Amino acid sequence: MLLGVDFGTTHTVVTMVDRGNYPVVAFEGGDPYPSLAALLPSGELRYGFDAVAVRHEPGVRLVRSFKRLLADAGPRASVEIGGRPVLLLDLLTGFLSKVKEDLVARSNATVVEGEPLEVAISVPANSSSAQRFLTLEAFRAAGFTPVALINEPSAAGFEYAHRFRSTITARREHVLVYDLGGGTFDASLLRMTGKTNEVVTSEGVRRLGGDDFDEAILAAVLARAGAAGLDADARDLLLEECARQKEAVGPNTRRLVLDLSPLDLPPIALPIEDVWEACAPLVDRTIAATDPVLAAGELEEGDLAGVYVVGGAGAFPLVGRRLRERFGEKRVKRSPHPFAATAVGLALFLDGEAGFSLADRLTRHFGVFREAEEGEEVVFDPIFPKDLPLPEAGGAPLTAVRRYRAAHDLGHFRFVECSRLVEGRPDGDVTPWHDVKFPFLPSLRRSPLDGAAVRRLEAPGPEVEEVYSCTDAGAVEVTIRVPSDGFSKTFRLGRPGL
């Protein structure tokens, strides 16, 4: 069975490829599937609807929005739940395993036990290589067979092409995908010709989404109620109430009536103007992030075929209002199912009969800091630049090679990803790898390298070769080798035990 799976911050949406149709899978217990984990006092972890069922029981600790934790994930990233550390990869694998189990037992997908599940999965466009790698690893460990990993706005672009193909003309063939989810915001500029979507560039804010709107509304509620000093349980309950009320806001909503019983206070009516005021700075940040995207494409607003609003938080009325003020009433289009647009696009991509193809690009610079001027300076060597065209799905990876004579006995590599370069230096959203150490000399290969000092050699050392590989998913690995004796080691970004 072919499935599109959009693992979201708040919800996870699954779609099927079904004879030219792309229905959203419905689960018993609600729709869509909650991206939630719960730790019981017994130490048992429950996921999805099972976590929702116990979320208010005494002693239960919830883990919401754990997709956000992937943005800063390292090789051994963990999250503390009730004082217990849990590897993030294990948490994500446990959740996805439950999704797979419920696809069989609690959905209308008619999945047979043991049936192979080939999936196209998505990540935020501004994801680091670590997030991409860990996402793929978790899906594999959960029993899925990932066949494609696509940036979320790129996937949503397929849904736009499917629904609004008539808006694409020879003069206007670019679409700006505005993707505001529960935890992240991405803007991607796509050029659509025929059934090929070419990503021109992407930009985003990795930690801005519907969760932040909930927090802003909560702050406004507490300010109006004059309440302070909430304990953790009361705050969680009130935040959940703010999220519920936010999702019910419509164009004609005049106020939010919130239950303050967790504070032993009567209900409070928050005027909608207060809600707009609290959330407007967040919306304005997302719109500001579209400016460099249009500039990179050398486009004006009038050159766009459309601005496509997707993502669960994109349904918030203030978002549409601000976008129409910026881009014009007719140009802004919202997916009929904004929470499911990415998942539908993933299914479309998998459907060979639909005929869609994607020419995607690397969304972040990747490189390494190197010593220069005999140790007097440090320079950044950009291995793979942002906006580099990626291979087609399943195609051979991109490669880059560096060769040099070692000046030290031990290589200490400091790899970095970033959203932009300023005068050749990493800038913007910078994500470092965990440091990598590689012994150039055989005498160092029998001892642990943790804490080992790097020493400059008196004479040039052995030749060193670095071979970098970037997959169609945008994940990077490097193999470092000493050709004279054949010693080598491969480092994969985000793999535990790096």
Q: Within this chain, do residues 376 and 290 fall inside the same structural domain, yes or no? A: no
Residue 230 lies in a domain: no
Q: Tell me the one-letter amino acid at 458.
A: E
How confident is the model over 250-289, as pLDDT tens digits?
Answer: 888 999 998 888 778 888 899 999 999 999 999 999 999 9
CA distance 255 to 249: 9
Does 496 score more than 50 pLDDT?
Answer: no
Q: Of 359, 385, 407, at which residue does a domain stop?
A: 359
Q: Band of the pLDDT at 99, cuts 50, 70, 90?
A: very high
**52-61, 72-81, 192-201: least confidently modelled range:** 72-81
CA distance 159 to 331: 16
Query: What mean pLDDT do residues 109-132 have?
Result: 87
Instruction: Tally the domains of the chain.
Output: 2
**166-170, 204-208, 427-431, 463-467: least confidently modelled range:** 427-431
Q: Within this chain, do residues 49 and 138 fall inside the same structural domain, yes or no? A: yes
Q: Within this chain, do residues 339 and 432 fall inside the same structural domain, yes or no? A: no
Query: What mean pLDDT do residues 404-425 have?
Result: 89
| Residues with Cβ within 8 Å of residue 20, at least 6 apart in sequence | 351, 353, 354
Q: Within this chain, do residues 311 and 385 fall inside the same structural domain, yes or no? A: no
CATH number at residue 372: 2.60.34.10
Mean pLDDT of the chain: 88
Length, in residues, of the chain: 498
Does 498 score more than 60 pLDDT?
Answer: no
Pairing relation of β-strands 185-193 and 332-334?
Answer: unpaired
**41-50, 134-143, 431-440, 454-463: least confidently modelled range:** 431-440
Q: Within this chain, do residues 403 and 482 fall inside the same structural domain, yes or no? A: yes
Q: Within this chain, do residues 303 and 391 fall inside the same structural domain, yes or no? A: no
| Both structure tokens of 449 | 């390298």
Does 421 score more than 80 pLDDT?
Answer: yes
Q: Within this chain, do residues 200 and 297 fall inside the same structural domain, yes or no? A: yes
Give me the pLDDT at residue 341, please.
Answer: 92
Give me the pLDDT at residue 236, please.
Answer: 85
Query: What mean pLDDT do residues 308-322 have?
Result: 92
Give me the pLDDT at residue 74, please.
Answer: 58
Q: Of 359, 393, 426, at which residue does a domain stop?
A: 359
Residue 272 lies in a domain: no
Residue 251 lies in a domain: no
ω into residue 483 within 30 of 0, thus cis?
Answer: no
Q: Within this chain, do residues 71 and 176 fall inside the same structural domain, yes or no? A: yes
Residue 77 lies in a domain: yes
Choose among 211, 201, 157: nearest CA to 180: 211
How confident is the model over 325-369, as pLDDT tens digits?
Answer: 999 998 999 888 888 999 999 999 999 888 888 888 888 899 998
- Strand (E) or helix (H) holding 350: helix 341-350
Residue 85 lies in a domain: yes
Residue 271 lies in a domain: no
CATH number at residue 113: 3.30.420.40
Q: Band of the pLDDT at 378, cuts 50, 70, 90?
A: confident
Dihedral sign (CA 425, 176, 31, 280) = positive
Q: Within this chain, do residues 307 and 166 fall inside the same structural domain, yes or no? A: yes
- Give strand pairing partners of 46: 38
Q: Band of the pLDDT at 137, cuts 50, 70, 90?
A: confident
Does 383 score more than 50 pLDDT?
Answer: yes
Q: Within this chain, do residues 64 and 196 fall inside the same structural domain, yes or no? A: yes
Q: Tell me the one-letter amino acid at 299.
A: L
Give me the pLDDT at residue 497, please.
Answer: 33
Q: Within this chain, do residues 355 and 380 fall inside the same structural domain, yes or no? A: no
CA distance 97 to 93: 6
| Both structure tokens of 90 | 């294990």
| Residues with Cβ within 8 Å of residue 169, at least 6 apart in sequence | 305
Give me the pLDDT at residue 166, please.
Answer: 86
Query: What mean pLDDT do residues 111-135 have?
Result: 87
Q: Which domain holds residue 437?
A: 365-492
Does 433 score more than 50 pLDDT?
Answer: yes
Q: Band of the pLDDT at 430, cuts 50, 70, 90?
A: confident
Q: Within this chain, do residues 314 and 432 fall inside the same structural domain, yes or no? A: no
Q: What is the pTM of this model?
A: 0.80
Q: Of 359, 378, 402, at which residue does a domain stop?
A: 359
Residue 179 lies in a domain: yes
DSSP state of 23: P
How confident is the model over 187-244, as pLDDT tens digits?
Answer: 999 999 888 888 898 888 878 999 999 999 999 998 888 777 777 788 888 888 999 9
Residue 241 lies in a domain: no
How confident is the model over 144-173, as pLDDT tens digits?
Answer: 999 888 989 999 999 998 888 888 888 889
